[in-house]
Structure 1
């Protein structure tokens, strides 16, 4: 009798499951009118996004329609009445949400990875890649389910819009290679094929990956030969230009808001060993300095950087392997690296 009752109630449990829909409504207009189409390549191994809770009620997060390729295509067409010849492809590689228990309640968590490509002459050229890992605290959101669904939509919208203005990486790959595009592309980048780094200053990851240092900038050192920043080749300090990394005597150093950290390499690619305080300084003075110090040298700000660097290295005992993305140069943070994620 109990078994029959269970089978009778089971459909009621299923019907009680609530859904939180991810609605693709944000503007993704290509203002230059060069885009012809947007095609989704859903490469997720598991299509189930996950369940998150609102006021103890579970909600399954899902897209508003099951036919995702048509959903994304219709989304593009809605905002792009005037079109050109560029064929864009969006690869959805990973998308998961889940509840994370806390001391007093539960918070929501989102993990997503997506990339965009431009197709020309039956070859694909890499444009952008976004990796998102965010926590959503109950105290910050009236409806966590809605906040996470809105974030998914916003992140997808942002990578699409950014791709319109992004110069493609000049490494063509075939459609077959798209299955393993990171490995295929990175193996063709000079940074992974050359035996030694080229000395100089690199303003962004693209120039670093291609090993093309900036001709207008050079490394600045103190009398002891310690790297203190960068300067212009004409000896004027460079106060406003961002810098990704510098190479001195064949050794590469990643620029952080507070110091330079040597870049190492293992089987998984390039990485640095850093503390949270070095990458995400909490002190406002350090943060301001960090924002400008990609190119800042000397003077008071130089002293701030020196002090922050020394403090971070001496007082923070927790250091972690922080990966450097092969195609974007962005940090690949280990789990729980940051105490607070927005």
Structure 2
């Protein structure tokens, strides 16, 4: 009798444990529409906090922990393999830094929620790795059924991240696996823009050329209007003129001082121990965004969920909840050393 009671208690404990979890499922696919060059996907989990989060589910609002059905490596690797049946030549490695889900304030019948996400991808060749892409951001949601929406959109976040990765070419400089532990520090330590005290004058068309301090060859002269705003750069060689418009520039450096192209014009680029940064705000340096960004990835397979309709996901990156950009509030906006994208973590 005692043994039967023990077995019963164990069985009840297992059921209770299972009921206290909400399992993440695949949504859509991870196929590469432009042709797969990666034969496999491996995940290196570097999260300091392994728990994704706990949220209320169902009519009874039972608190459940959001979990993957297996290890995150097994889950994403198998999902990738199922989505890309034709194997490529290379291996892709995804380094996961952060994945956290939080509930926010409730207003009326709707509740806000955030998913913090930070990950990097690399192309693996033998024992070396080439950087592909990085995303470090917060996705925000608002819904009556916020727990369901956020849980079902976690795989969407990974799908969007990988589909962006597919479009990018790997960096030229390969690194050993040790560099993946803190790749940002590695980039800073090995970039001319960070190592040199003075920047080279000239025109830089992209982030890579600026980091390597390799401006466009030739002696370009900046042409400005009466207000001092740069319109173009002109180079004359062998009787021929070569022009670079302001819109084509990523950064120009004049007298050792850098200026970064933004939506509202060029802004002075400063540097401190953390890196390169602008003093501005999101509303000034980026185009005005709609209140929501709706993305469809594999919607035909019922893969996406959101607050509007099945098949669409309503994801807002932090800062876009209000469509009004306050230009009077300025702060340090750093330039990500790996991608050249803006870092709004100080916002």
Specify the TM-score bucket, using the shorter chain as the normaliser.
0.7 to 0.9
**Which deviates further from its counterpart, 13-22 or 192-201?**
13-22
Residue of structure 2 equivalent to 1:175:
177
* 1:48 and 2:55 correspond: no
Q: Is the 8 A contact 2:36 2:88 kept in 1?
A: yes
Residue of structure 2 equivalent to 1:132:
137
* 1:76 and 2:80 correspond: yes
How far has the Cα of 1:207 moved from its partner? Answer: 2.0
How far has the Cα of 1:218 moved from its partner? Answer: 6.0
How far has the Cα of 1:251 moved from its partner? Answer: 0.7
Question: Structure 2 CA distance, aligned partners of 1:60 and 1:324?
Answer: 38
Residue of structure 2 equivalent to 1:3:
none
Residue of structure 1 equivalent to 2:276:
270
* Unaligned 5+ runs, structure 1: 1-10, 285-314, 338-342
Deviations 1:283-304 (Å, cap 9, x if unpaired)? 99xxxxxxxxxxxxxxxxxxxx
Deviations 1:75-114 (Å, cap 9, x if unpaired)? 1211222213201101111011101125556311111001
Question: Structure 1 CA distance, aligned partners of 2:233 and 2:65?
Answer: 50
* 1:100 and 2:100 correspond: no
Other structure's SS at 1:263 match: strand
Indicate which of 318, 323, 331 corresponds to 1:320.
331
Which residues in structure 2 correspond to 1:233-244 (within 5 Å)?
Answer: 233=235, 234=241, 238=245, 241-244=247-250
Deviations 1:141-199 (Å, cap 9, x if unpaired)? x5333432343322312332333342212222211221111111221122112232222
Residue of structure 1 equivalent to 2:6:
none
Q: Is the 8 A contact 1:20 1:59 kept in 2?
A: no
Question: Structure 2 CA distance, aligned partners of 1:49 and 1:92?
Answer: 12
Which residues in structure 2 correspond to 1:174-213 (within 5 Å)?
Answer: 174-213=176-215
Other structure's SS at 2:180 match: helix
* 1:65 and 2:83 correspond: no
**Which deviates further from its counterpart, 59-68 or 111-120?**
59-68
Deviations 1:200-240 (Å, cap 9, x if unpaired)? 2222212221222345976431356x23333564376738x
Aligned residues: 292
Question: Structure 1 CA distance, aligned partners of 2:167 and 2:89?
Answer: 15
Question: Structure 1 CA distance, aligned partners of 2:148 and 2:286?
Answer: 28
Distance 1:213 1:70, change over 3 A: same
Which has the higher relative contact order, 1 or 2, with Cα contacts under 8 A spaced 6 or more apart?
Answer: 2
Other structure's SS at 2:149 match: helix
* 1:220 and 2:223 correspond: yes
Question: Structure 2 CA distance, aligned partners of 1:40 and 1:200?
Answer: 40
Question: Structure 2 CA distance, aligned partners of 1:232 and 1:53?
Answer: 61
Indicate which of 254, 257, 260 corresponds to 1:254.
260
How far has the Cα of 1:125 moved from its partner? Answer: 1.2
How far has the Cα of 1:280 moved from its partner? Answer: 3.7
Question: Structure 2 CA distance, aligned partners of 1:266 and 1:168?
Answer: 28
Question: Structure 1 CA distance, aligned partners of 2:156 and 2:233?
Answer: 38
Residue of structure 2 equivalent to 1:4:
none
Q: Is the 8 A contact 1:21 1:149 kept in 2?
A: yes
Q: Is the 8 A contact 1:190 1:211 kept in 2?
A: yes
* Unaligned 5+ runs, structure 2: 1-12, 236-240, 291-325
How far has the Cα of 1:116 moved from its partner? Answer: 0.3
Distance 1:14 1:159, change over 3 A: closer
Residue of structure 2 equivalent to 1:301:
none
* 1:109 and 2:109 correspond: no
